[in-house]
Amino acid sequence: MVAGAARALARRHDLRFLLFGDQAAIREQVDEHEGLSAACQIVHCNDVIAGTEKPSQAIRRAKTSSMGRAIAAVKAGEAQAAVSGGNTGALMAMAKLALRTMPGIDRPALAALLPTLGANDLVMLDLGANTECDVQNLVQFSVMGAAYARVVLDLERPRVQLLNIGTEELKGTDELKEAAAILRASTDLGMRFDGFIEADKISRGGADVVVTDGFSGNIALKSVEGTARFVTDLLKRAFTSSVRSKIGFLISRPATELLRHHLDPNNHNGAVFLGLNGLVVKSHGSADQKGVANAVWVAARMAREDLTRKISHDLASVADRSARAAAQ
């Protein structure tokens, strides 16, 4: 985490950090990076949330743990965003309890960037925060995902699609069909709703935002990650199976390096809890310093672009349209 902060600072010199945890251990790491000490303040915390702890247990130590105090700093305005590589469930529970959901948002969602064959990555949500979602949840997730895509992907009107078992309008649950109808009518939002998408098309580049419930989203995410590892492991095995294969690897190394870079999760690290009155970014627990730096850059960009204000504006437009439709 400290090395990641130093790497992020090297790219953006205006960053400042509050580092929560064991002061002596953090200070030792900070001193290894030139210039980092002047850009950070260490907040000593004895208490640490373990990765195996249940969210209900972790919440009880929100005021004493490093994770809880980092979130509290966002609530108090001492920090503009919190970045953590710790227990995801505990982080979500603490963030929701401390920061509360934004007006017009029923539930926060977990969003992340996934690689595609298109010109840019895509935003996918929800990835596990909500196992069951109703129509309004899906609409709200679409608004939040589109706003997030405009910030992190520099897209004026992101293409939004709902994950479904088919692309035909008659397929899917009633919730999906109703959410699609609402989004099709929302033509004045900063998005372009393109209907439904099937799971095998997620990485093709035809969508900028893919929206689903947390149960389906988490399964889809793990499938994508597993397939990526399968492909890289299969190539590694194939290229080391014989002398001829090793020679082939040397010839094709530029292409395999490009593939490795494209599938490296550190290049897409930084899942975001959207819909809260404050910015919280979840770094993968196994991320290296490059991955942590990416998570920090995501957090800084959301703060600079005032993501919460953009989401509030679009939600107000949806609510106003719904009110007019109900009055007719």
**Local confidence band at 255 (pLDDT 50, 70, 90 cut-offs):** low
- pLDDT computed for residue 190 by the predictor: 81
Yes or no: say if 112 and 127 are a contact pair by the CB < 8 Å rule.
Answer: yes
Single out the residue of 212, 226, 228, 8 nearest to residue 111, CA to CA.
212
Whether pLDDT at 72 is above 70: yes
**CA 67/CA 284 separation, integer angstroms:** 15
Query: In which band, very low, low, confident or very high, does the pLDDT at 250 lie, cut at 50, 70 and 90?
Result: low
Residue of 110, 103, 102, 122 lying closest to 213 (CA atoms): 110
Q: Tell me the mean pLDDT in the region 299-311.
A: 87
108-118 pLDDT, tens digit per residue, is: 999 988 888 88
Q: Give the pLDDT of residue 317.
A: 74
Q: Scanning the structure block, which residue is given the tokens 């900070």?
A: 30
Confidence of residue 64 (pLDDT cuts 50, 70, 90): very high
- Can you tell me the distance from the alpha carbon of 202 to that of 197, in angstroms, rounded to the nearest whole number? 7
Q: What is the mean pLDDT of residues 64-84?
A: 95
Residue 97 vs residues 20, 60, 68, 287, 289: alpha-carbon distances, Å: 19, 11, 10, 26, 29
What mean pLDDT is predicted for residues 214-228? Answer: 85
For residues 184-213, give the mean pLDDT. Answer: 89
Under a CB-based contact definition with an 8 Å cutoff, are residues 272 and 282 in contact? yes
Region 255-270 average pLDDT = 60
Domains annotated on the chain, with CATH: 103-328 (3.40.718.10)
The model's pTM: 0.83
> Hey, what amino acid is at 123?
V
**Rounded mean pLDDT of 60-64?**
91
What's the whole-number average pLDDT of the chain? 87
* Residue 280 pLDDT > 70: yes
What pLDDT score was predicted for residue 240? 77
